[in-house]
Chains A and B, each alone.
Chain A
Amino acid sequence: MEQVEVAEAVEYRKKPTNKFVQFLKRCGRQHALLVMTIPFLIWLFIFKYLPIWGWTIAFQNYRPSKDFMEQEWVGFQHFMFLFEDERFLRVLRNTLAMSGINLVLGFVTAIILALLLNELRVVVFKRVVQTVSYLPHFISWVVAAGIVQQTLSPDGIINELLLRFGLVKESILFLGIGEYFWGLFGAATVWKDVGWNTIVYLAAMTMIDPAQYEAAEIDGAGRFQRMWHITLPGIKSVIVVLLIMNIGYLLESGFEPQYLLGNGMNVDYSENLDIFVLKYGINQGNFSLSIAAGMFKTIVSFILLFAANNISKRLGEARLY
């Protein structure tokens, strides 16, 4: 190791000025590392950066048959259209509503569950609850949607219970009623992910000094008081970071649950930005409008994420990367 450094130093003294040659020499020494990364840089460029060029289509009246130079350029016309389009505004409302529901419901349920799990004294029972509650996270949304459809169907358990307790007179076609969709979506998402979302909080809770609990107990604090004054403040920083980061994903309300559970009857409430993009682009072939909508989403998300990351950095907490 030292010998190499000495040799490098000698070399350096010989040619102190030419940085480019130095760079090439370093590349030569690290040729193996270059071979290991350059193919993937090319991959990255093609699959992740090249598509951004497609955004130019949002400013054209795109015709697939024409060359790039022959396209008709229309400026911000498609964006203007979007913000006057009733359907787009509804889609935006649905997106914000569903990600808002996700955010609030997701946080509250996961924190409560983590608190309850943390209070368990029987380790085996805790393990079992954790194993069971993480399970739905690993099945696909397709499977989950199949299960949700079954549960909510006219002969499913929900209708069965409602009928048995006399809360309704006849079974309800839940997925056929638009107004119910946001709530059902929220419930399905909680069912799928609440267990999984507790992991971070449980990890943070293990960092709390047990002496604090003992001291509180000696001072006569009950279970709820200990949860409120020790456990919750102990995980406060994690909650704040996750909240901020999630606000960065405000336009990402998900795609699969809405698409898989959506149908003609609840479309006014289930259709979100991603589905809008898919329907206009792939189904109707209106690439320009569809890309304009997608571009709007990406840019707003980009700004939100950057802001979130910076706020989180300023608070001195962990960042996204």
Chain B
Amino acid sequence: MRTNFSTSDKIFDYVNYVVLTLLMIVTLYPFLNTLAISFNDAKDSIRGGIYFWPREWSLDNYRYVLSEKSIYNATLISVLRTVIGTIVTVFCSAMVAYAISRQDFVLRKFVTVAFILTMYINGGLIPNFLLVRDLNLLDSFWVYILPGLIGVFNLIIIRSFIEGLPDSILESARIDGAGDYRTFFSIVLPLCVPVLATVALFSGVFQWNSWFDVFLYNSSTSELSTLQYELQKILQNSNASMTQKSAGDAFAGAMHNQGTVTPTAVRATMTIVASVPIIMVYPFLQKYFVKGMMVGGVKG
């Protein structure tokens, strides 16, 4: 490695550290500020001047948000769609990926092309909506799982991974008399754990973060609402209030004011509640996300 740095080199390094530290602050500040507001007394927050840390600690905002019965149901649905959706997607994608990774499979070309074409062309919002309606999937849980069952991107990265496995392993399995089911379940699936973990993470984050399908298909069934959709409704309210020129804290909103909370505080608290699971698991799983991004970038 280089040992002696020139002065201009050192100056560059200092500037670089300063710039990147600023970047981190700019990235994190909005989170920390929202967190601080969620833990600060709502009435006190109106005075402004809350930055990184709450001024008057209070759990009232959380008490208020968590007293709404609907939030528990929404959390349950969010968890269910994340868990079920992820498992089903990973399993189904792996199965199809295995089939199209087999060079001798009769439908290999056909299946591959049929899937890849959907990256280029799709019916669009309204035709999809009409389809879901005609299939009687409106106001049902399965509308969270079925339409996005297999993603082409996932399919391609799993297939590339299987194709990268040493041929000798699959061949020896066949010589030992293992059929395709056997090969898939006892050899391919266990070997694919790294790539399946990546796909599961992407799919899990996607499911947790989804709100548009709730809004589009299930907005009239409150039992099927999710956390993200509950938050979206709160945002919509504060947007609407702004349009009425009553800016920020003055609106009454859908959340009936109980005297101790304000819409801003509720918004901040819900934001934290809806994002905490992701922020908690993210640092531990970051490397898998990055790995998946690389695999995908390498080309299928």
Which A residues are within 8 Å of any B CB, using their own CB? 1, 23, 26-27, 30, 32-34, 36-37, 40-41, 43-44, 46-55, 57, 113, 116-117, 119-121, 125, 128-129, 131-136, 138-143, 145-151, 153-157, 160, 173, 175-176, 191, 195-196, 199-200, 203, 217, 222-224, 255-256, 260-265, 274, 277-278, 281-282, 287, 290-291, 294-295, 297-298, 302, 305-306, 318-321
Contact = CB atoms under 8 A, between A and B. Distances in A.
B112 to A, nearest CB: 9
Contact of A142 (B46, B130, B175, B274): B274
Contacts of A26: 104, 106
B212 A256 contact: yes
Given A40-B149, A148-B30, 9 more contacts: A30-B104, A33-B106, A48-B123, A143-B274, A153-B264, A154-B248, A255-B212, A265-B243, A291-B127
A158 to B, nearest CB: 10
Interface string B215-235: 010000000000010011011
Contacts of A52: 121-123, 127
B128 A51 contact: yes
Nearest to A134: B286
23 contacts: A30-B106, A33-B106, A47-B128, A50-B123, A53-B127, A57-B126, A132-B27, A142-B211, A142-B274, A143-B209, A143-B275, A146-B271, A149-B238, A150-B271, A155-B46, A191-B30, A196-B293, A199-B290, A262-B239, A274-B125, A281-B125, A294-B125, A321-B300
A3 B13 CA distance: 66
A116 B20 contact: yes
Given A138-B278, A143-B275, A37 B130 contact: no
B31 interface: yes
The 3 lowest CB-CB distance pairs between A and B, nearest first, are A51-B123, A54-B127, A140-B209
A320 B120 CA distance: 10
B250 to A, nearest CB: 11
Interface of B: 2, 6, 8-9, 12-13, 16-17, 19-20, 23-24, 26-31, 33-34, 37, 46, 48-49, 51, 92, 95-96, 98-100, 102, 104-107, 111, 114-116, 118-131, 135, 146-147, 149-150, 152, 156, 171, 174-175, 179-181, 184, 205, 208-212, 216, 228, 231-232, 234-235, 238-240, 242-243, 247-248, 264, 267-268, 270-271, 274-275, 278-279, 282-283, 286, 289-290, 293-294, 297-300
A130 to B, nearest CB: 8
A157 B26 CA distance: 11
Nearest to A281: B126
B16 A140 contact: no
Contact of A319 (B99, B184, B282, B299): B299
A33 B211 CA distance: 35
B216 A191 contact: no
Nearest to B201: A138
A265 B290 CA distance: 39
Contacts, number: 278
A173 B23 contact: no
B297 A203 contact: yes
A119 B16 contact: yes
Given A51-B122, A146-B231, A223-B12, A191 B26 contact: yes
B267 A150 contact: yes
A135 B239 contact: no
Contacts of A155: 46, 48, 248
A124 to B, nearest CB: 12
B111 A41 contact: yes
Q: Which of A55, A116, A146, A306 has the most CB of B within 10 A?
A: A146
B171 A1 contact: yes
Q: Which of B125, B128, B267 has the most CB of A within 10 A?
A: B125
Given A157-B51, A264-B243, A143 B231 contact: yes
B126 A54 contact: yes
Contacts of A121: 13
A237 B257 CA distance: 56
B23 A129 contact: yes
A321 B156 contact: yes
Contact of A50 (B13, B51, B131, B212): B131
Nearest to A148: B30
B209 A142 contact: yes
Contacts of A298: 121-122, 124
A118 B149 CA distance: 38
A223 B2 CA distance: 13
Contacts of A157: 29-30, 33, 51
B34 A150 contact: yes
Contacts of A224: 12
A234 to B, nearest CB: 16
B28 A132 contact: yes
Q: Which of A54, A117, A318 has the most CB of B within 10 A?
A: A54
Contacts of B243: 176, 263-265
B33 A217 contact: no
A44 B179 CA distance: 26
